[in-house]
Amino acid sequence: MSNIRLFYPASLSLNLNSKLDKSQSHYVNKVMRVKVNETFSLFNSNGEWEAKVKEIAKGMVEFTITKQIRHKENSKEVWLAFSPIRSNYFNFMIQKATELGVTKFLPIIFDRTIVRKINNERLKKIIIEASEQSNRINIPSIEKAQNLKNFLSKYKNKIDLIFTDLNTENKKLDIKKVKNIPICIIIGPEGDFSEKERKEILSFEGVKPIKINENILRSETAAISTLSIIIYCLNL
> Residue 53 belongs to what H/E stretch?
strand 47-57
pLDDT computed for residue 190 by the predictor: 86
Tens digit of pLDDT at every position of the chain (236 positions): 678 999 999 999 999 999 999 999 999 999 999 999 999 999 998 899 999 999 999 999 999 999 999 987 767 899 999 999 988 899 999 999 999 999 999 999 999 999 988 999 999 999 999 999 999 999 999 999 999 999 999 999 999 999 998 888 887 877 777 766 899 999 999 888 999 999 999 999 989 999 888 888 899 999 999 999 998 888 76
Is 58 in the same domain as 88?
A: no
pLDDT computed for residue 102 by the predictor: 96
Is 111 in the same domain as 35?
A: no
Cα(first)–Cα(last) distance of the chain, in Å?
32
Is 127 in the same domain as 21?
A: no
pLDDT computed for residue 236 by the predictor: 64
Domain final residue pick, 21, 54, 71 = 71
Is 42 in the same domain as 85?
A: no
pTM here is: 0.88
Q: What is the pLDDT of residues 188-221, one digit of tens each?
A: 998 889 999 999 999 999 899 998 888 888 999 9
CATH number at residue 187: 3.40.1280.10
Is 13 in the same domain as 39?
A: yes
Is 95 in the same domain as 183?
A: yes
Indicate the number of domains in the chain: 2
Is 99 in the same domain as 176?
A: yes
Is 115 in the same domain as 195?
A: yes
Is 23 in the same domain as 102?
A: no
Is 123 in the same domain as 23?
A: no
Is 86 in the same domain as 64?
A: no
Residue 166, classed as helix, strand or coil, is coil
> Residue 98 belongs to what H/E stretch?
helix 87-100
CATH number at residue 67: 2.40.240.20
Domain final residue pick, 71, 96, 117 = 71
Smallest CA-to-CA distance from 161 within 198, 112, 128, 121 is with: 198
pLDDT computed for residue 168 by the predictor: 85
Q: What is the pLDDT of residues 64-73, one digit of tens each?
A: 999 999 987 7
Is 44 in the same domain as 125?
A: no
Domain final residue pick, 16, 38, 71 = 71
pLDDT computed for residue 74 by the predictor: 67
Q: Residue 42: which domain range? A: 5-71
CA distances from 75 to 42, 72, 79, 137, 140 (A): 20, 9, 12, 10, 12
66-67-69 Cα angle (round to 5): 140
